[in-house]
Structure 1
Amino acid sequence: MVCEVARRFDVTTGLIYTWRRQALAQDAGPAFVPAKLVDVPNNGCAAEPAVCVDFPSGVKVRIGAAAPCELAAAVMRALK
C-alpha cells in the first residue's frame, strides 16, 4: 500500500515513513476537524477557490488556491 501511494505521488517510500514518524511525534492534538462547504460572497476579491478556517479564538483565515503550501502551513501553525 505504501508503495502504491509513493508511486502515485512520485515520492519515495522512505519519505512517506518520515512524514508518518514526524506526524506521530508532534503533539498537535486532533489531526482532523469537521469541515463544511459554504458559499462566500466575493466582496470584490478575485474569484478563486480558497480554504477558510475559523479558529476557536475567533480569528478567521482565508487562504487562496494560489498560496504556496508552505505559507498556508506556516499561517496555520502560527495561529493554532
Structure 2
Amino acid sequence: MTVFGGRERRRRWGEDERAKILAEAFSPGACVARVARQYDVSTALVYTWRRKACLEAGVAGAAASAQVGFVEAVVLDDGGSKPLPSPPAVVVDLPGGRRVNIYASAPPGMAAAVLKALIR
C-alpha cells in the first residue's frame, strides 16, 4: 500500500477567489484557459462556477452573463488596392492537381506539422 502525504490536491476556493477568477477569465479579450492555468484551476471548473453564478443571479443561460449588443460597423472603400501576396516559401504539389503552400509568415511549428502530415 502506498500512502501519499503532503498538501491535499483538492483546493477549496472562497467566494472572493471565485469572483476574482471569473471576473478575470470573462473580461473582454481574456482567454479562459490562460486565466485557469494562472490560478491552477481547470477550465471546466471555471465554466461550472460561471453557470452556477448565472443560475443564482437568475440569468437564463451562461451566455447571458456577457453583455450582448450591436456595434456600428463602418466600411471604407480603399479604392480596390490590395497588397500583392508574397510568394509561398514552400510549395508541395500533390497528386490530383492539389497543392499545399506554406508561407514564410507561418509559425514554424505549424509548418513542421503540415510537412509531417504529408509524409504519412
Q: Which TM-score bucket, shorter chain as reference?
A: 0.3 to 0.5
Higher strand share: 1
TM-score, normalised by the number of residues in structure 2: 0.25
